[in-house]
Chains A and B, each alone.
Chain A
C-alpha cells in the first residue's frame, strides 16, 4: 500500500458531487436528511436491490449533489453494498467523500477508513457521536486525529445538529482547495512490500482506467474476487500466470495486508484517543493482581473453596441433622402411627420408601441452599470467572490445551454437555478419548453428594476431605488430559478469550433468585427422579418379605459385595453406588431407605457410627470417579454411536473408580485412619 495524494477534480457546472460513506448505523441518514431536507429521492442502484438515496443542497452559492452510499464495514468485494460503494468512488470520482465515523467504536470505523484512504478521492472524516464516546470515557482529540490521518476531521453530534455547519465549511474548503487533504495510507507489512511492487510491475499498463493501479495490485494480493476477475480479462495468459505464481508463493499476503491496516488503526488510536480509567476498574485491576496471579490465584482459589465447604458444613450440617431428626423422623413416625391399621406394606412404602428416601434428600436442602448462596455470592461479586481463569491456567500448564479442553471444562457443570461438547473435535480418535475422559470431571451432582456425605463420615475434617477429593479428581483428569494431549493433539492449540467482569458489591435479590432457581431445580429432580428410584429401592429392599437382610436388593448387594469388600464397602454401600447410576443423588436416598427414616440419631450420625472412616473415604473416592449418571451414558452412546464404546466407557470408569477406591481404603488403613 502506498500513500495517495489525490488531485482535486474541479467542480463542473457549479455542481459538486459529494459521497456520504460509512458503516451502517453510524448516523449517515441523519446527516443526509439534515443536509438535503425534502430535496431528496430514493431509488435503487442500477441492477441491484440496494437502496440508493440522492439529494441536493446549496451552500455558499454552490449546489451540492449528495449521494448516500450503502453502509459497509470494508471495501472488499464481500457484498453488493461494498462493491457499490467502492465502484462509485472509483468510477464517479466524487469531488469529496465524507466518511462518517462512530467515535464510540472508533477502531471499527477506522477499518473502513483504512481502505478509503487508498482510493483516489478527497476525504473528510465526520467524527460523529462524540457525546456517546465521552459518556463511555473515550476522549478523542480531533486535531491530533486530523494530523495523524492527513485529512480534515469534523467532530459532530448529528442527532443534535452539532457540527453540521462545520462539516459544510470543511466540504467547501476541501472542494475549493483551501483545506489540504493528504491522506496517510496504511503500509503493507514490510516483508511483503517487495511482493506488492512485483505485482505492480507485472500489471503495469494493463489496469483499465479509472482504477488506480496501486489499489488494484493491493486487491489482487488480497484475493479480491471482483478485481481478480477484472484483471484476468485484462492480462495476457503469460502475465496472468506470472501474477498467479507470485500470489501462490506468498499465501500469507492476506494477513500482511490486513496487518498493515491494523498497524495503521493502532497508530491512529494511540495518537488521538485516551481511555481514562474510572476508579472501579482500578480496584478490579488491583484485586486481580492477586486473584488471577498464576501462584497466588491458585492459593486464593483453594482457600475460597475450602471456606465455601467450611461455611456450608458449619451452618448447614446442624440444620440438616435437626431436620432429619425433628421433621423426617417425626413425619415417618406419624405416618406409621396413622397407618397402624393399614397393610404393613403401605406404611413401609410411605415411611421408609418415600419419606426415608426422598425425605433424606429434603433434609439436604439447607446444605444446598448455603452452598448455592456462597457460590451465588462468589459469582455475583465477579470471583467465579477468576476461578475459571486460574483453573484454565493450571490445565494449560499440565498440557491440557488441545480441543479437548473446552468440553472437559464444561463438565464441571454437568457431564452431559461435556460429552456433547466433544463435537468441536475433528479427529474421531481424539473425540472418542475425550468422551471417555469427560465423566471424570467432578460435576455438580457429584459435588452435592460429597457435600452431604463428607460431614457424615468425617465430621470436622469434612472440609479437608472435600478439598482433597476435588484435588484428586482434578489430578486424575489433568494427568489423563496431558496424556491425550501428548498422544493426539500434537502441536494443536486452542486459545480462549475470557471476559472477566468488574468486581462489585453482591446484590441480595440476584443471589436470592439464583438460590431459589437452583433449589427448585434440585427439588424437581428429587421428586421426578430420586423419589421413583427410592420407591423401587424400597420395594427391592422389602420383597419378598422377611426383612431387609433377606430382600432381593440384599441378594444383589451380597452378590457384588466381594468387590466392595476390597475397599471396605458392605452390600448397602455397593447398592447405594449402583443406584447413583440413575442420578448421583440417589446414593443418599438409597442410604436413607436402607437405614430407615425415623431413626432418632439421623442418617448422617447412623452412617458415621456404622462405617469406619477408611470405608467412608473409599466410598467418597469411588463416588467421585464412578460411572456417570444414565443421562451422561446416553450422551456417550449418542455421540460414539457405538454400544461397544459405551460399554468400554462404563468399564473404564468402573476400573478407575474401583482401583482408586481400593487404593484410598488401604492407604487410609495403613495411615491409621480406621
Chain B
C-alpha cells in the first residue's frame, strides 16, 4: 500500500487525503500515517510554506496554498530517499 501511495504521489498534482484513501481502499487516517512514513524515509520532502505578514490582510488568502491548509511535498527518487535515511 505504501508503494501504491508513493506511485500516486509520483504522478504529481493535487490530491485530497479522502481521494487517496478511496483509491487505496483504506482510511484517511492510514493515508496520513503513510505520508508521514514516506517523509520520514526520505521519499517525500516537505516543501515549507513561507509565511508573510502580507497574508494577514490579503483578500485572496483563502484562495492560495497558504490559506487552504494544503501541504506540499517534492517526491524524491530512491537514491535521494536512501541518502536521507543513511542507507
Contacts and interface: CB of A to CB of B under 8 A. Distances in A.
B78 A413 contact: no
A409 B35 contact: no
Contacts of A497: 14-17, 20, 35, 70-73
Interface in A386-432: 387-389, 392-393, 396, 401, 403, 405-407, 409-414, 416-417, 420-421, 423-424
B68 A410 contact: no
Contacts of A414: 52, 54-55, 58
B43 to A, nearest CB: 7
A580 to B, nearest CB: 17
Interface in A494-510: 494-500
A444 interface: yes
A223 to B, nearest CB: 5
A388 B68 contact: yes
Given A270-B25, A388-B64, A412-B63, A417 B51 contact: yes
Interface string B70-85: 1111110010001001
Given A107-B33, A371-B59, A414-B52, A392 B69 contact: no
B27 A494 contact: no
A223 B29 contact: no
A262 B37 CA distance: 10
Contact of A494 (B6, B56, B75): B75
A403 B70 CA distance: 15
Given A417-B52, A492-B74, A499-B69, A275 B59 contact: no
Given A255-B43, A262-B2, A384-B62, A496 B72 contact: yes
Contacts of A378: 62
Given A379-B62, A384-B68, A254 B12 contact: no
A365 interface: no
A251 B85 CA distance: 11
Interface string B1-24: 111001001111111111010001
Contacts of A270: 25-26
Interface in A290-342: none
A106 B72 CA distance: 25
Contacts of B66: 410, 413, 417
Interface string A363-390: 0000000011001001100001101110
Contacts of A108: 29, 33
B54 A413 contact: yes
Interface stretch (A2-10, A515-523, A557-565, A618-626): A515-523
A269 B35 CA distance: 17
Contacts, number: 214
Main secondary structure of the interface of A (DSSP, over half): helix
Contact of A254 (B41, B69, B72, B74): B41
A38 to B, nearest CB: 38
A424 B14 contact: no
B54 A416 contact: yes
B82 A413 contact: no
Nearest to A492: B74
A396 B12 CA distance: 8
A172 B25 CA distance: 38
A111 to B, nearest CB: 6
A262 B30 contact: yes
Contacts of A189: 3
Given A107-B29, A495-B9, A255 B73 contact: no
Given A389-B14, A417-B51, A498-B15, A375 B56 contact: no
A258 interface: yes
A255 B42 CA distance: 11
Contacts of B50: 407, 410, 417, 420-421, 423
Contacts of A251: 78, 82, 87
A11 interface: no
A495 B49 contact: no
B64 A412 contact: yes
B2 A259 contact: yes
B75 A496 contact: no
B56 A521 contact: yes
Contacts of B60: 375, 412-413, 443-444, 447
Contacts of A252: 78, 82
Contact of B63 (A388, A420, A518): A388
Given A263-B1, A421-B49, A388 B70 contact: yes
Nearest to B45: A424
Query: Which residue among B1, B27, B65 has the maximum number of chain A CB atoms within 10 Å of its CB?
Result: B65
A499 B70 CA distance: 6
B72 to A, nearest CB: 5
A494 B85 contact: no
A111 B33 contact: yes
A529 to B, nearest CB: 12
A205 interface: no
Contact of A258 (B17, B41, B49, B63): B41
A273 interface: yes
A545 interface: no
Contacts of B20: 497
Given A497-B17, A497-B72, 5 more contacts: A106-B29, A384-B63, A387-B63, A413-B54, A498-B15
Interface of A: 105-108, 111, 189, 223, 247, 251-252, 254-255, 258-259, 262-263, 265-266, 269-270, 273, 275, 371-372, 375, 378-379, 384-385, 387-389, 392-393, 396, 401, 403, 405-407, 409-414, 416-417, 420-421, 423-424, 443-444, 447, 492-500, 517-518, 520-522, 525, 631
23 contacts: A251-B78, A255-B41, A259-B1, A259-B2, A259-B3, A385-B69, A388-B68, A388-B70, A406-B72, A409-B64, A410-B64, A411-B64, A414-B54, A424-B72, A494-B12, A494-B47, A494-B75, A495-B9, A496-B73, A497-B71, A497-B73, A498-B15, A518-B57
Can you list the 5 inter-chain pairs with the closest CB atoms, starting with the nearest?
A521-B57, A493-B12, A379-B62, A392-B14, A259-B2
Interface of B: 1-3, 6, 9-18, 20, 24-27, 29-30, 32-35, 37, 41, 43-44, 47-52, 54-75, 78, 82, 85-87
